[in-house]
Structure 1
């Protein structure tokens, strides 16, 4: 490197069109190919399922606007972690980072890998559902392949992302056009009495929203995606915000008047566009497939393709698989930014804030995430993974939005280039509390108790390890060993 260390530089030149593209590209992933059947099976009727998709989009809009103000008040890297740290204290912030690094983030990886696996094996099992072991083996291979690629050569991983983006857009456009064509030709029988058999219980509604909101994931980082694009050598753009629950902002300058104008515009253009696209895709599914066909399908786009495209139906399988693979690749692109920020605050082992000395990739964080993702994949299925992920995520979203309300009420004089009416975060908080409580009110399951205990177990780790620092010697020896073994060193602060 010619004797000089190359530095990361942030170029803040994303205009309104670029911001809209970033937002839409971040949000549209594998969820729209996997979640529709689970939304419908939870809520019970086609009409109600479309309402869930529309309301999920509305909630994403309100929540992202709330986060936009929060990002201008607390202009630091770290996302929810920093927001909770500054408003609720280090103990609650550690609960977040502990849950995110050890469960939520790996659960997102596992869920996306299952989406990829379902669509990869679907053409080989046309007469029955693919065997679960086969699906999980393919998902595990996908995780290991992308983890290896991102550890060894992140530029290669980024260069193939364009292929996945094209496949994703192409698949959705084909689905929308095919469905609209059939709808215009009179295939409307599935929408007759479309609200019959709706499940109106609190738990079914909450679970339906869990599955729908999974497809909108990414709204919590939109203000950062708008303001900052990583323009750095030699690291490329691996650290852009792609993944669910934990991908982080790339800089701190949220005080520009330009942000005040364009940020809400970008949100109010991009998320309604994504919502409309999701509604059209679901209308297309429901136009072509009966509710029972949709709910029984393990790969709904393949089932749709077989009925509309005939012998070319396999194209939908390939496109959906590539889309899911791209989403999984994007999740690995976000690397270990949660770990980096938390380790700098002393809330995670220092080894997770290191990068490979030659390849300049966050290999310790990627290896750690890969191991836990494989464990989650082994013991869970897609629906349970998404449900428990969403339960955990919305628990901390509620705490984060509470922090915004605290700042609006107690510290109204703090500089805010962008403000939202207080009713917006209030509505988001009500929705978040509902989403946390809904699965355990009507039909409580012991698994949610386990997840809750796991979240709060972070306090049991925080008190001795972080607050009282009872085992710094052990952690230091482990860090030194792993640093030598993995050939890693502390990364730059702005990595």
Structure 2
């Protein structure tokens, strides 16, 4: 979690790697003239369509097929449930607009990490990187792949739930496969994302279309007295928003790859304005479709809401629902892995993680060490994982840093007036999002205090114990310890430090 080689070391190792690559492939000067060498940096290969697919494909994953139960449970009725789904879409849109200002003002990859660094300095950015790289991002990948595994294995166990060993083994295999794709090629990862985004939009259209037909046939009994139900506490509403916003999570993903985005000043805000409203409409319509065929009790007792819907409405073609849900969760996991690797890469480049994470594949121009590291942690979290527990604690930490990032919009209006702002949101939006973010952090804790929240807070602050010696002081023995490890990993993975583009 510190820079462990000098600039001389970096330059020498890079030159040796380049020389080794050319020698092993038999290149000579004539060949190099015909095939100019690409700079070892992350290239701008993500266009507008791929950017929209990244947002939509990452947001529409496991959430809409898991979270409806939890949102209904904590909201207390059909009416409040639909209102919360709508409100979550509005919040995601407002938050993304704040991020559009930040992303066009500070066109660096890394999302919140880069903005917190500019607004509050190195210690706060380090705490974010410590929490997100080590816990939030890999646990998110773990959650999504576990959902993928549950749906993928369900047809093979029609009379019971799939064994835990099967779901966790399949989730692990999915993580390894996705990491391999992302390490191999940025374009291939983008093509996979676009393909699976199309698949998930198709199943959304099928579910919504079936719901519209049923509504036209008069299936509206579950919407009568929609707001009659049990009373809920402020903490319960907070937990309902947690689970709804988990389904919307991904609205900030594009900011993690700003440096790889073609024409970011145009495509970043445009992709946000197209992608997030599309997802919000899909989510509300899907929930309405669910309630056309299932009562509240039926929905809460279903082990797989989307599959239950398909069994009731699409028989004998009901098998297409779990198949497309598998596609949907796989695509979401791919998007999550893609952006998580960029965050770890930027943190390594800034000296807040071990330097090997900032290295780029000499042949593939992908941040393969960072991608592998994220996948390794995700596999570790898959072993003991409980999906609902992970969602609650992931949201607690995530919304704390969302709130800080929204606050940075306000802070930099006064401290960084010189920065150009191609997109500038009304400051009242940023203020509103700060208040909402910290409500989502505090309300469940006040309503139902649990030691796990304290453990989460202690873990976040414990990052300072590593920051002071390894980042602030840059202790010499740590650099000497990591230098041979970095060298051997560099040779094994065929990676080099990124070049500085002038």
Task: Tell me if TM exceeds 0.5.
Answer: yes
2-side partners of 1:371 and 1:266: how far apart? 31
Judge conservation of contact 1:206–1:439 (CA < 8 Å) in 2.
yes
CA deviation vs aligned residue, 1:92-130 (integer Å, no higher than 9, x gap): 100011111111110110011012112112223334433
Do structure 1's residue 433 and structure 2's residue 465 form an aligned pair? no
Write out the 4+ residue segments of structure 1 that deviate beyond 6 Å after TM superposition.
Answer: 252-255
Gaps of 5+ in 1: 225-246
Question: Cα–Cα, structure 1 residues 455 and 294, in superposed 2: closer, same or farther, change >3 Å?
Answer: same
Query: In the TM superposition, what is the alpha-carbon distance from 1:358 to its structure 2 partner?
Result: 3.7
1-side partners of 2:350 and 2:88: how far apart? 34
Q: Could you say which residue in structure 1 is the equivalent of 2:397?
A: 392
CA deviation vs aligned residue, 1:50-103 (integer Å, no higher than 9, x gap): 111111111111111112222333343332111111111101100011111111
Count of residue pairs brought into register by the alignment:
465
Q: Could you say which residue in structure 1 is the equivalent of 2:480?
A: 473
1-side partners of 2:400 and 2:252: how far apart? 14
Question: Cα–Cα, structure 1 residues 154 and 402, in superposed 2: closer, same or farther, change >3 Å?
Answer: closer
Corresponding residue SS for 1:249: helix
1:81 to 113, 135, 145: 113
Question: Cα–Cα, structure 1 residues 384 and 493, in superposed 2: closer, same or farther, change >3 Å?
Answer: farther
Do structure 1's residue 416 and structure 2's residue 421 form an aligned pair? yes
Question: Cα–Cα, structure 1 residues 252 and 270, in superposed 2: closer, same or farther, change >3 Å?
Answer: closer
Q: CA RMSD in A?
A: 2.6
Do structure 1's residue 250 and structure 2's residue 259 form an aligned pair? yes
1:206 to 226, 230, 238: 238
1-side partners of 2:127 and 2:340: how far apart? 20
2-side partners of 1:493 and 1:278: how far apart? 43
Corresponding residue SS for 1:312: coil
Query: In the TM superposition, what is the alpha-carbon distance from 1:248 to its structure 2 partner?
Result: 3.0
2-side partners of 1:67 and 1:115: how far apart? 28
Question: Cα–Cα, structure 1 residues 128 and 41, in superposed 2: closer, same or farther, change >3 Å?
Answer: farther
Q: Could you say which residue in structure 1 is the equivalent of 2:380?
A: 375
2-side partners of 1:171 and 1:142: how far apart? 21
Question: Cα–Cα, structure 1 residues 176 and 385, in superposed 2: closer, same or farther, change >3 Å?
Answer: same
**For residues 261-280 of structure 1, what are the structure 2 equivalents within 5 Å?**
267-280=272-285
TM-score, scaled relative to structure 1: 0.86
Question: Cα–Cα, structure 1 residues 190 and 154, in superposed 2: closer, same or farther, change >3 Å?
Answer: same
**For residues 50-449 of structure 1, what are the structure 2 equivalents within 5 Å?**
50-152=82-184, 156-222=188-254, 224=255, 247-250=256-259, 259=266, 267-334=272-339, 336-412=341-417, 414-449=419-454
Query: In the TM superposition, what is the alpha-carbon distance from 1:20 to its structure 2 partner?
Result: 5.7
CA deviation vs aligned residue, 1:1-24 (integer Å, no higher than 9, x gap): 74342146537974xx88766644
Question: Cα–Cα, structure 1 residues 254 and 463, in superposed 2: closer, same or farther, change >3 Å?
Answer: farther
- Please say which structure displays the higher CA radius of gyration: 2
Structure having the higher helix fraction is 2
2-side partners of 1:199 and 1:114: how far apart? 32
Question: Cα–Cα, structure 1 residues 42 and 79, in superposed 2: closer, same or farther, change >3 Å?
Answer: same
Query: In the TM superposition, what is the alpha-carbon distance from 1:287 to its structure 2 partner?
Result: 1.1
Query: In the TM superposition, what is the alpha-carbon distance from 1:45 to its structure 2 partner?
Result: 1.4
TM-score, scaled relative to structure 2: 0.85
Q: Could you say which residue in structure 1 is the equivalent of 2:38?
A: 6
Question: Cα–Cα, structure 1 residues 202 and 457, in superposed 2: closer, same or farther, change >3 Å?
Answer: same
CA deviation vs aligned residue, 1:374-404 (integer Å, no higher than 9, x gap): 1211122111122222111111111111111
2-side partners of 1:272 and 1:13: how far apart? 19
1-side partners of 2:430 and 2:414: how far apart? 12
Judge conservation of contact 1:199–1:205 (CA < 8 Å) in 2.
no
Question: Cα–Cα, structure 1 residues 59 and 157, in superposed 2: closer, same or farther, change >3 Å?
Answer: closer
1-side partners of 2:187 and 2:163: how far apart? 35
Judge conservation of contact 2:253–2:339 (CA < 8 Å) in 1.
no
Question: Cα–Cα, structure 1 residues 130 and 197, in superposed 2: closer, same or farther, change >3 Å?
Answer: farther
